[in-house]
Amino acid sequence: MNKSMKFIKIVKNAKRGSRFAKKVRRQFWLIVITAIFLILSSAYLIWINELDSHSTYTDAIWTVLFTLIGQGEFASNPRTISGRVIVFLISILGVALLGVIFTEVIQRIINSRLKEMIGMSKCKYKDHTILCGWCERGRIILNELVGSGKNVAIIANERPPNLPSGSVFFVAGSPTDQSVLTQAGIEEAKAVVLLSERSGISESEADAKSILIALAISSMNPNVYTVMELINPNNEKYARLANVDDIIYSDQIVAEMTAACAAYSGISVFFRDILCATDDGGHLCAFNVPDEFNGKTVKELFENVKHEKNLPVGIITPPPDDPSANSNLWISHVNPAVETVITLPMKYVCLVNN
Protein backbone atom coordinates (compact mmCIF):
# COMPACT_ATOMS: atom_id res chain seq x y z
CA MET A 1 0.00 0.00 0.00
CA ASN A 2 2.83 2.38 0.92
CA LYS A 3 4.58 1.69 -2.37
CA SER A 4 1.38 2.40 -4.28
CA MET A 5 0.91 5.70 -2.47
CA LYS A 6 4.53 6.68 -3.17
CA PHE A 7 4.11 5.86 -6.85
CA ILE A 8 0.88 7.93 -7.05
CA LYS A 9 2.66 10.82 -5.33
CA ILE A 10 5.57 10.65 -7.80
CA VAL A 11 3.16 10.67 -10.75
CA LYS A 12 1.27 13.67 -9.36
CA ASN A 13 4.52 15.57 -8.78
CA ALA A 14 5.68 14.77 -12.30
CA LYS A 15 2.41 16.10 -13.71
CA ARG A 16 2.73 19.28 -11.66
CA GLY A 17 6.31 19.73 -12.85
CA SER A 18 5.24 19.20 -16.45
CA ARG A 19 2.45 21.76 -16.13
CA PHE A 20 4.83 24.24 -14.50
CA ALA A 21 7.42 23.73 -17.27
CA LYS A 22 4.76 24.45 -19.91
CA LYS A 23 3.72 27.62 -18.11
CA VAL A 24 7.35 28.73 -17.90
CA ARG A 25 7.85 28.17 -21.63
CA ARG A 26 4.73 30.16 -22.47
CA GLN A 27 5.77 33.03 -20.19
CA PHE A 28 9.52 32.83 -20.90
CA TRP A 29 9.92 36.22 -22.55
CA LEU A 30 7.75 37.86 -19.90
CA ILE A 31 10.11 36.46 -17.27
CA VAL A 32 13.13 37.75 -19.20
CA ILE A 33 11.61 41.23 -19.50
CA THR A 34 10.71 41.21 -15.79
CA ALA A 35 14.28 40.24 -14.84
CA ILE A 36 15.77 42.97 -17.04
CA PHE A 37 13.36 45.55 -15.59
CA LEU A 38 14.24 44.45 -12.05
CA ILE A 39 17.98 44.76 -12.73
CA LEU A 40 17.76 48.15 -14.47
CA SER A 41 15.36 49.71 -11.97
CA SER A 42 17.37 48.39 -9.01
CA ALA A 43 20.55 49.73 -10.57
CA TYR A 44 18.95 53.16 -10.95
CA LEU A 45 17.83 53.28 -7.30
CA ILE A 46 21.27 52.14 -6.14
CA TRP A 47 22.92 54.76 -8.33
CA ILE A 48 20.74 57.51 -6.80
CA ASN A 49 20.73 56.44 -3.14
CA GLU A 50 23.70 54.20 -2.40
CA LEU A 51 26.66 55.08 -4.62
CA ASP A 52 28.81 58.19 -4.36
CA SER A 53 28.61 61.10 -6.82
CA HIS A 54 31.57 59.84 -8.87
CA SER A 55 29.95 56.52 -9.75
CA THR A 56 28.10 55.91 -13.03
CA TYR A 57 24.92 54.05 -13.91
CA THR A 58 27.09 51.30 -15.41
CA ASP A 59 28.78 50.87 -12.00
CA ALA A 60 25.31 50.49 -10.46
CA ILE A 61 24.38 47.75 -12.96
CA TRP A 62 27.59 45.87 -12.11
CA THR A 63 26.78 46.24 -8.41
CA VAL A 64 23.37 44.63 -8.96
CA LEU A 65 24.79 41.80 -11.04
CA PHE A 66 27.47 40.97 -8.48
CA THR A 67 24.86 41.15 -5.73
CA LEU A 68 22.76 38.61 -7.65
CA ILE A 69 25.59 36.07 -7.55
CA GLY A 70 26.40 36.86 -3.91
CA GLN A 71 29.72 38.57 -4.58
CA GLY A 72 28.79 42.23 -4.01
CA GLU A 73 29.70 44.19 -0.87
CA PHE A 74 26.45 46.15 -1.26
CA ALA A 75 24.43 43.03 -0.38
CA SER A 76 25.80 42.91 3.17
CA ASN A 77 25.65 46.59 4.09
CA PRO A 78 22.97 48.74 2.37
CA ARG A 79 22.85 52.25 3.89
CA THR A 80 19.26 53.25 3.08
CA ILE A 81 15.82 51.71 3.42
CA SER A 82 15.43 51.61 -0.38
CA GLY A 83 18.77 49.80 -0.56
CA ARG A 84 17.59 47.17 1.92
CA VAL A 85 14.38 46.69 -0.09
CA ILE A 86 16.44 46.27 -3.26
CA VAL A 87 18.69 43.67 -1.61
CA PHE A 88 15.61 41.78 -0.45
CA LEU A 89 13.96 41.83 -3.90
CA ILE A 90 17.17 40.83 -5.65
CA SER A 91 17.80 38.03 -3.18
CA ILE A 92 14.30 36.59 -3.58
CA LEU A 93 12.95 37.55 -7.00
CA GLY A 94 16.15 38.23 -8.94
CA VAL A 95 17.86 34.95 -8.12
CA ALA A 96 14.66 33.00 -8.81
CA LEU A 97 14.10 34.73 -12.17
CA LEU A 98 17.71 34.21 -13.28
CA GLY A 99 17.50 30.56 -12.24
CA VAL A 100 14.38 30.06 -14.36
CA ILE A 101 15.96 31.90 -17.32
CA PHE A 102 19.23 29.95 -17.25
CA THR A 103 17.43 26.64 -16.82
CA GLU A 104 15.11 27.35 -19.74
CA VAL A 105 17.96 28.53 -22.00
CA ILE A 106 19.98 25.40 -21.29
CA GLN A 107 16.89 23.23 -21.84
CA ARG A 108 16.23 24.89 -25.19
CA ILE A 109 19.84 24.35 -26.28
CA ILE A 110 19.65 20.68 -25.30
CA ASN A 111 16.30 20.23 -27.07
CA SER A 112 17.62 21.91 -30.23
CA ARG A 113 20.69 19.68 -30.28
CA LEU A 114 18.60 16.59 -29.58
CA LYS A 115 16.15 17.45 -32.38
CA GLU A 116 19.06 17.89 -34.75
CA MET A 117 20.55 14.52 -33.73
CA ILE A 118 17.30 12.63 -34.36
CA GLY A 119 16.63 14.47 -37.63
CA MET A 120 13.73 16.70 -36.57
CA SER A 121 15.34 20.12 -37.22
CA LYS A 122 15.20 22.12 -40.47
CA CYS A 123 18.30 22.30 -42.63
CA LYS A 124 19.62 25.85 -43.04
CA TYR A 125 22.17 25.12 -45.78
CA LYS A 126 22.04 26.93 -49.13
CA ASP A 127 23.27 25.62 -52.49
CA HIS A 128 23.76 22.25 -50.86
CA THR A 129 23.29 18.68 -52.11
CA ILE A 130 20.48 16.48 -50.82
CA LEU A 131 21.18 12.75 -50.64
CA CYS A 132 17.88 10.84 -50.72
CA GLY A 133 18.06 7.37 -49.24
CA TRP A 134 20.94 5.48 -47.70
CA CYS A 135 22.79 2.31 -48.61
CA GLU A 136 26.37 1.08 -48.82
CA ARG A 137 27.07 3.35 -51.81
CA GLY A 138 25.79 6.35 -49.86
CA ARG A 139 28.89 6.46 -47.65
CA ILE A 140 31.20 6.69 -50.67
CA ILE A 141 29.05 9.36 -52.35
CA LEU A 142 28.90 11.34 -49.10
CA ASN A 143 32.68 11.25 -48.63
CA GLU A 144 33.24 12.46 -52.21
CA LEU A 145 30.76 15.32 -51.86
CA VAL A 146 32.18 16.44 -48.52
CA GLY A 147 35.72 16.06 -49.87
CA SER A 148 34.89 18.40 -52.74
CA GLY A 149 33.63 21.06 -50.31
CA LYS A 150 29.87 20.48 -50.57
CA ASN A 151 27.34 20.71 -47.75
CA VAL A 152 25.09 17.64 -47.73
CA ALA A 153 21.65 16.96 -46.26
CA ILE A 154 20.82 13.26 -45.88
CA ILE A 155 17.22 12.01 -45.89
CA ALA A 156 16.89 8.53 -44.40
CA ASN A 157 14.63 6.63 -42.02
CA GLU A 158 17.49 6.17 -39.53
CA ARG A 159 20.56 8.28 -38.85
CA PRO A 160 23.62 6.71 -40.52
CA PRO A 161 26.50 6.06 -38.08
CA ASN A 162 29.65 8.21 -37.92
CA LEU A 163 28.45 11.13 -40.02
CA PRO A 164 31.03 13.93 -40.49
CA SER A 165 30.28 17.00 -38.39
CA GLY A 166 29.92 20.51 -39.73
CA SER A 167 28.99 19.87 -43.36
CA VAL A 168 26.40 17.07 -43.05
CA PHE A 169 22.81 17.48 -41.87
CA PHE A 170 20.48 14.57 -41.15
CA VAL A 171 16.71 14.60 -41.74
CA ALA A 172 14.61 11.66 -40.57
CA GLY A 173 11.82 10.46 -42.84
CA SER A 174 11.03 9.45 -46.40
CA PRO A 175 11.89 11.71 -49.37
CA THR A 176 8.47 10.89 -50.82
CA ASP A 177 7.04 13.19 -48.14
CA GLN A 178 7.09 16.84 -49.26
CA SER A 179 7.32 18.07 -45.66
CA VAL A 180 10.51 16.05 -45.25
CA LEU A 181 11.94 17.54 -48.47
CA THR A 182 11.10 21.01 -47.14
CA GLN A 183 12.85 20.15 -43.89
CA ALA A 184 15.94 19.18 -45.91
CA GLY A 185 15.91 22.60 -47.62
CA ILE A 186 14.82 21.51 -51.10
CA GLU A 187 13.94 25.10 -52.05
CA GLU A 188 17.54 26.22 -51.43
CA ALA A 189 19.30 23.07 -52.71
CA LYS A 190 21.56 23.05 -55.74
CA ALA A 191 21.54 19.31 -56.46
CA VAL A 192 19.75 16.12 -55.41
CA VAL A 193 21.08 12.57 -55.57
CA LEU A 194 18.43 9.81 -55.61
CA LEU A 195 19.88 6.51 -54.47
CA SER A 196 18.12 3.32 -55.46
CA GLU A 197 17.09 1.55 -52.25
CA ARG A 198 16.64 -2.12 -53.11
CA SER A 199 16.27 -3.73 -49.70
CA GLY A 200 13.00 -5.61 -49.31
CA ILE A 201 11.49 -4.53 -52.65
CA SER A 202 11.79 -5.55 -56.29
CA GLU A 203 13.85 -3.63 -58.87
CA SER A 204 10.72 -2.25 -60.55
CA GLU A 205 9.39 -1.02 -57.19
CA ALA A 206 12.75 0.61 -56.40
CA ASP A 207 12.72 2.49 -59.72
CA ALA A 208 9.09 3.50 -59.25
CA LYS A 209 9.88 4.91 -55.81
CA SER A 210 12.83 6.92 -57.19
CA ILE A 211 10.66 8.37 -59.98
CA LEU A 212 7.94 9.28 -57.46
CA ILE A 213 10.53 11.17 -55.38
CA ALA A 214 11.79 12.94 -58.52
CA LEU A 215 8.25 14.12 -59.31
CA ALA A 216 7.89 15.55 -55.79
CA ILE A 217 11.25 17.31 -56.09
CA SER A 218 10.42 18.73 -59.51
CA SER A 219 7.16 20.19 -58.23
CA MET A 220 8.91 21.89 -55.32
CA ASN A 221 12.08 23.10 -57.03
CA PRO A 222 12.16 22.65 -60.82
CA ASN A 223 15.61 24.29 -61.04
CA VAL A 224 17.46 21.82 -58.80
CA TYR A 225 19.88 19.49 -60.63
CA THR A 226 18.72 15.90 -60.10
CA VAL A 227 20.89 12.80 -60.41
CA MET A 228 19.03 9.48 -60.24
CA GLU A 229 20.28 5.94 -59.88
CA LEU A 230 18.12 3.58 -61.95
CA ILE A 231 18.20 -0.18 -62.24
CA ASN A 232 16.13 -0.89 -65.37
CA PRO A 233 17.01 1.19 -68.51
CA ASN A 234 13.41 0.76 -69.71
CA ASN A 235 12.32 3.16 -66.95
CA GLU A 236 14.50 6.01 -68.21
CA LYS A 237 11.67 7.58 -70.25
CA TYR A 238 9.56 7.89 -67.11
CA ALA A 239 12.45 9.44 -65.21
CA ARG A 240 12.85 12.03 -67.99
CA LEU A 241 9.18 12.94 -67.61
CA ALA A 242 9.99 13.68 -63.95
CA ASN A 243 12.62 16.21 -65.13
CA VAL A 244 15.59 14.14 -63.97
CA ASP A 245 18.81 15.65 -65.33
CA ASP A 246 21.28 12.77 -65.02
CA ILE A 247 20.60 9.04 -64.85
CA ILE A 248 23.19 6.56 -63.63
CA TYR A 249 23.04 2.80 -64.08
CA SER A 250 25.44 1.69 -61.36
CA ASP A 251 25.31 -1.98 -62.32
CA GLN A 252 26.16 -1.14 -65.93
CA ILE A 253 29.04 1.15 -64.94
CA VAL A 254 30.49 -1.49 -62.61
CA ALA A 255 30.20 -4.14 -65.34
CA GLU A 256 31.95 -1.94 -67.92
CA MET A 257 34.77 -1.06 -65.53
CA THR A 258 35.18 -4.70 -64.55
CA ALA A 259 35.48 -5.69 -68.23
CA ALA A 260 38.09 -2.96 -68.79
CA CYS A 261 40.09 -4.16 -65.77
CA ALA A 262 40.06 -7.69 -67.17
CA ALA A 263 41.21 -6.49 -70.60
CA TYR A 264 43.88 -4.01 -69.42
CA SER A 265 45.88 -5.02 -66.38
CA GLY A 266 46.35 -2.29 -63.78
CA ILE A 267 43.77 0.16 -65.14
CA SER A 268 41.61 -0.18 -62.02
CA VAL A 269 44.08 2.02 -60.11
CA PHE A 270 43.60 4.74 -62.73
CA PHE A 271 39.82 4.44 -62.52
CA ARG A 272 39.87 4.92 -58.75
CA ASP A 273 42.16 7.92 -59.06
CA ILE A 274 40.22 9.93 -61.66
CA LEU A 275 36.85 9.26 -60.00
CA CYS A 276 37.93 10.11 -56.45
CA ALA A 277 38.18 13.70 -55.25
CA THR A 278 39.47 12.86 -51.76
CA ASP A 279 42.83 11.24 -52.51
CA ASP A 280 46.18 12.77 -53.52
CA GLY A 281 45.67 12.33 -57.27
CA GLY A 282 43.29 14.07 -59.66
CA HIS A 283 39.62 13.87 -60.56
CA LEU A 284 37.45 14.61 -63.58
CA CYS A 285 35.65 17.95 -63.77
CA ALA A 286 33.48 19.66 -66.40
CA PHE A 287 33.42 23.44 -66.94
CA ASN A 288 31.61 25.80 -69.29
CA VAL A 289 33.82 27.07 -72.09
CA PRO A 290 34.42 30.84 -71.53
CA ASP A 291 32.84 33.28 -73.99
CA GLU A 292 36.30 34.47 -75.12
CA PHE A 293 36.92 31.13 -76.86
CA ASN A 294 33.81 31.29 -79.05
CA GLY A 295 34.98 30.87 -82.66
CA LYS A 296 38.45 29.65 -81.66
CA THR A 297 39.73 26.08 -81.96
CA VAL A 298 39.81 23.27 -79.45
CA LYS A 299 43.62 23.41 -79.65
CA GLU A 300 43.63 26.99 -78.29
CA LEU A 301 41.19 26.02 -75.53
CA PHE A 302 43.21 22.97 -74.46
CA GLU A 303 46.47 24.94 -74.45
CA ASN A 304 44.87 27.40 -72.04
CA VAL A 305 43.64 24.52 -69.85
CA LYS A 306 47.15 23.03 -69.75
CA HIS A 307 48.53 26.45 -68.85
CA GLU A 308 46.30 26.28 -65.73
CA LYS A 309 48.02 22.94 -64.91
CA ASN A 310 44.94 20.84 -65.75
CA LEU A 311 44.80 17.99 -68.26
CA PRO A 312 42.00 18.30 -70.91
CA VAL A 313 40.46 15.03 -72.08
CA GLY A 314 37.40 16.04 -74.10
CA ILE A 315 34.42 18.30 -74.74
CA ILE A 316 30.65 18.03 -74.33
CA THR A 317 28.35 19.65 -76.90
CA PRO A 318 24.56 19.95 -77.30
CA PRO A 319 22.85 17.89 -80.04
CA PRO A 320 23.21 19.56 -83.47
CA ASP A 321 19.44 19.62 -83.95
CA ASP A 322 18.67 20.99 -80.47
CA PRO A 323 21.24 23.53 -79.16
CA SER A 324 19.00 24.42 -76.22
CA ALA A 325 18.73 20.83 -74.92
CA ASN A 326 19.43 20.15 -71.25
CA SER A 327 23.04 19.33 -70.46
CA ASN A 328 22.15 15.75 -69.56
CA LEU A 329 21.29 15.17 -73.26
CA TRP A 330 24.56 16.60 -74.60
CA ILE A 331 27.06 14.53 -76.58
CA SER A 332 30.55 13.72 -75.28
CA HIS A 333 33.66 13.88 -77.50
CA VAL A 334 36.73 12.23 -75.97
CA ASN A 335 40.04 13.50 -77.40
CA PRO A 336 38.36 15.62 -80.13
CA ALA A 337 40.14 16.90 -83.25
CA VAL A 338 42.24 19.93 -82.29
CA GLU A 339 41.06 21.92 -85.32
CA THR A 340 37.39 21.70 -84.19
CA VAL A 341 35.89 25.18 -84.05
CA ILE A 342 34.24 26.08 -80.76
CA THR A 343 30.57 27.05 -80.89
CA LEU A 344 28.97 27.96 -77.61
CA PRO A 345 27.41 26.57 -75.52
CA MET A 346 30.06 23.92 -74.86
CA LYS A 347 31.73 22.29 -71.87
CA TYR A 348 35.26 20.97 -71.56
CA VAL A 349 36.29 18.02 -69.39
CA CYS A 350 39.66 17.92 -67.69
CA LEU A 351 41.60 16.24 -64.90
CA VAL A 352 42.09 18.57 -61.94
CA ASN A 353 44.56 17.97 -59.13
CA ASN A 354 42.91 17.29 -55.77
**Mean pLDDT of all residues in 302-306:** 93
Per-residue pLDDT band at 72 (split at 50, 70, 90): low
Q: How far apart are CA 68 and CA 61, in angstroms?
A: 11
SS3 content of the chain, % helix, strand, coil (to 5): 55, 15, 30
Q: How far apart are CA 236 and CA 130, in angstroms?
A: 21
The pLDDT assigned to 11 comes to 42
pLDDT tens string 288-297 = 999 999 999 9
Q: What is the domain class of 18-117 according to CATH?
A: mainly alpha
**Mean pLDDT of all residues in 186-194:** 94
How many H helices and E strands in the chain? 12, 10
Find out whether 72 and 87 touch, Cβ atoms under 8 Å: no
CATH homologous superfamily, domain 280-353: Regulator of K+ conductance, C-terminal domain (3.30.70.1450)
Instruction: Say if residue 78's pLDDT is above 80.
Output: no
Find out whether 172 and 157 touch, Cβ atoms under 8 Å: yes
Per-residue pLDDT band at 114 (split at 50, 70, 90): low
**Mean pLDDT of all residues in 279-293:** 86
Architecture of domain 129-248: 3-Layer(aba) Sandwich (3.40)
- DSSP class of residue 118 equals T
Average pLDDT, the chain: 81
The pLDDT assigned to 106 comes to 74
The pLDDT assigned to 6 comes to 46
- Give the range among 125-129, 253-257, 269-273, 280-284 with minimum mean pLDDT: 280-284
- DSSP class of residue 221 equals -
- Give the range among 10-24, 308-322, 336-350 with minimum mean pLDDT: 10-24
- Write down the H helix ranges in the chain: 2-26, 28-49, 57-68, 81-89, 95-117, 136-147, 178-183, 203-220, 236-241, 250-263, 267-275, 298-307
Characterise 352 by phi-psi region: left (phi > 0), alpha (psi -120 to 50), beta (else). beta
Q: Which one has a higher pLDDT value, 250 or 308?
A: 308
Domain boundaries of the chain, sorted by first residue: 18-117, 129-248, 280-353
**Mean pLDDT of all residues in 28-48:** 76
Instruction: Report phi then psi at 200, rounded to 5.
Output: 80, -5
